[in-house]
Amino acid sequence: MILTPNILARLGALGLLTVLLEVSFFSRITLLGSRPAFAVLVVVLLGLLGGVTIGAVAGFSIGFLIDCLIGSPLGSTALVLILVGYLAGAYRERATGRAGRLGIPLICVGLTLIAEAALLAIHLLLGLSGPFSPAVIPDLMVTALYAFVLGLALNAGLRRLLSPALIDESDRQSNGPVAVFGNRK
Amino acid sequence: MLALLVIGCFILLTASFGQRSNFIQSTVATVFGPLEEGASRALKPARDLVNWFDETFEARGENARLREELEEARLQAIAGQAARQENDQLRDLHDLSETGVIPSGYEPVVARVIARSPSLWTGTVTVDAGSSSGVEVGDPVMSGDGLVGQVTAVYGGSSLVLLITDPSSRISGRVVPSGVQGILQPEIGNPEGLVLGFLDRAEQVRVGSSVVTAGWRTETRASRFPPNLPVGVVERAPLIEQEASRQVFVRPLADMSRLDFVSILTGGWRK
């Protein structure tokens, strides 16, 4: 990802908007017994578009703000989002060939589930959560479904927002590890 | 960069562990508070819309579940009512023994009514106590309120009871406290009423007087029922009827239409 002041401003605004939407909207709605992990999806997509560094920094920033606003242990959400941002970026930088039409939403689903598991693990380690109950599995399935659907929509939106910064796939193919995503306009 | 971020997270976690809030969180929350509030208000209609869909889906499922629970509760309530009714009847039967209504020498056997004659004009019921319970033909049968009838047939595990409202029923009765005696028989045209006729004295019988079994006995013969079993209450006693026909109208104490449990007085006269 090519970072210019304009792109950095867009990323900053995106991060702020993500935090506000997460705490004011997505965390306060329930549909079919669960809700979308919006912040996780944004971080994953930023990692898929920008690489490891972008994914990790976005994860830390968004996670830190969310921890401050919802009162959870400072650093817990940040740690989880760093993880998923890093994994998404790592996939972007190491994967060869196109992910396919369903690749992005499936990656979103997988990393969302990893984020939920990581958050549960952190809460268990900190003594903030009770033992895992299989009763939450249906809720996780619904969250995964949301990740699939929202992943498709958000990917298109983020591509449009960050299109000046995205690296062309053809350039990456000729220069090194094949870029899976990105078009420079 | 990644290592720095991760270390930073652990530092934050360690620093804030066990604290409800700290300086960093409170500062950020204060700064972003107005933004958060504005976003929350602005997004409320959208939240409400989404939650409305969720509540509608949930309401459908909950509706079906509540209907099932209501049906179950209704059945339980009916069963509870029936159980209470049975309990009341059984308690009344128990009180019979306690209050001394049952003459000495009789052993009450509680039985459940299991069948009833379908006709309004024949009064018999079948109960689930028979010879195996010591029941014999001729045993008086009572409810918690008063005399019901007499056993006319006995089988191994059941008995047939002729009600006092059956057209063929005849009982010697006595008005208390006046002592006027007569014959109790069903009132013609009223399957739930009795007539105390053939009054042996011209003494006026008052409405509201109690009627009990006379229970007479001689050396060679005895009435079918022991004395002083409550039968009914004088409901109508027109003077004309008393003088011309020597009869009064009696309302039975026992409700023949709601018999579930009865007490069969075994032993007694046969001893």
**First and final C-alpha spacing in chain A:** 13
Asked if pLDDT for residue A42 goes beyond 90, the answer is: yes
Assign A97 a pLDDT band (cuts: 50, 70, 90). Answer: low
Identify the three-state secondary structure at position B130. coil
Q: What is the ipTM of this complex?
A: 0.71
Asked if pLDDT for residue A185 goes beyond 50, the answer is: no
What is the per-residue burial (b if ≥16 Cβ within 10 Å, else e) of A128-146?
eeeeeeeeeeeeeebbbeb
pLDDT at residue A100 in the model: 65
Mean pLDDT, residues A31-44 taken together = 86
Taking the C-alpha atoms of residue B183 and residue B179, their distance in angstroms, rounded to an integer, is 13
Name beta bridge partners: B19. none
pLDDT at residue B140 in the model: 92
For residue A51, the chain B residue with the least C-alpha distance is B2
CB contact under 8 A, A75 and B20: no
pLDDT at residue A179 in the model: 39
Assign A177 a pLDDT band (cuts: 50, 70, 90). Answer: very low
- Taking the Cβ of residue A91 and every Cβ of chain B, the question of whether any pair is shorter than 8 Å is answered with no
pLDDT at residue A82 in the model: 93
Following CA atoms A135, A141, A142, A148 in sequence, which dihedral angle do they give, to the nearest 10 degrees?
A: 160
For residue A68, the chain B residue with the least C-alpha distance is B25
Residue of A25, A82, A33, A26 whose CA lies nearest to A56: A82
Where are the alpha helices (H) located in chain B, listed in sequence order?
2-16, 23-98, 239-240
Taking the C-alpha atoms of residue A54 and residue A42, their distance in angstroms, rounded to an integer, is 11
Q: How many CB atoms lie within 10 A of CB B196?
A: 29
- Tokens matching residue A159: 């591509």
Please count the CA atoms within 13 angstroms of the CA of B163 that sit on its side-chain side: 31
CB contact under 8 A, A60 and B54: no
Model confidence pLDDT, tens digit, residues A126-152: 766 555 667 677 778 888 888 888 888
Identify the three-state secondary structure at position B22. coil
Contacts of A78 in chain B (CB under 8 A): 5, 8-9, 12
What are the backbone dihedrals phi and psi of residue B105, each rounded to the nearest 5 degrees, phi first?
95, -10
Name beta bridge partners: B159. B127, B154
Assign A184 a pLDDT band (cuts: 50, 70, 90). Answer: very low
Following CA atoms A137, A138, A143, A145 in sequence, which dihedral angle do they give, to the nearest 10 degrees?
A: 120
Taking the C-alpha atoms of residue B45 and residue B264, their distance in angstroms, rounded to an integer, is 74
CB contact under 8 A, B16 and A74: yes
Q: Report in angstroms the alpha-carbon separations of B98 from A53, B210, B217.
A: 92, 20, 26
pLDDT at residue A98 in the model: 58
Residue of A79, A127, A119 whose CA lies nearest to B18: A127
Query: Shortest CB distance from B50 goes to which of A24, A29, A52?
Result: A29
Identify the three-state secondary structure at position B268. helix
Residue of B181, B176, B146, B151 whose CA lies nearest to B166: B151
Q: Would you say A86 and A46 are in contact if contact means Cβ atoms under 8 Å apart?
A: no
Å from B143 to nearest chain A CA?
56
The mean of the pLDDT values for chain B is 82
CB contact under 8 A, B35 and A20: yes
Asked if pLDDT for residue A43 goes beyond 50, the answer is: yes
Assign A40 a pLDDT band (cuts: 50, 70, 90). Answer: very high
If DSSP states are collapsed to H, E and C, what string results for chain A? CCCCHHHHHHHHHHHHHHHHHHHHCHHHCCECCECCCHHHHHHHHHHHHHCHHHHHHHHHHHHHHHHHHHCCCCCHHHHHHHHHHHHHHHHHHHCCCCCCCCHHHHHHHHHHHHHHHHHHHHHHHHCCCCCCCHHHHHHHHHHHHHHHHHHHHHHHHHHHHCHHHCCCHHHHHHHCCCCCCCCCC
pLDDT at residue B270 in the model: 54
- The pTM of this model reads 0.53
Q: Which residues of chain B have pLDDT under 50?
A: 271
- Taking the Cβ of residue A118 and every Cβ of chain B, the question of whether any pair is shorter than 8 Å is answered with no
The mean of the pLDDT values for chain A is 79
Q: How many CB atoms lie within 10 A of CB B63?
A: 10
CB contact under 8 A, B39 and A25: yes
Contacts of B36 in chain A (CB under 8 A): 20, 23-24, 69
Residue of B221, B4, B89 whose CA lies nearest to A56: B4
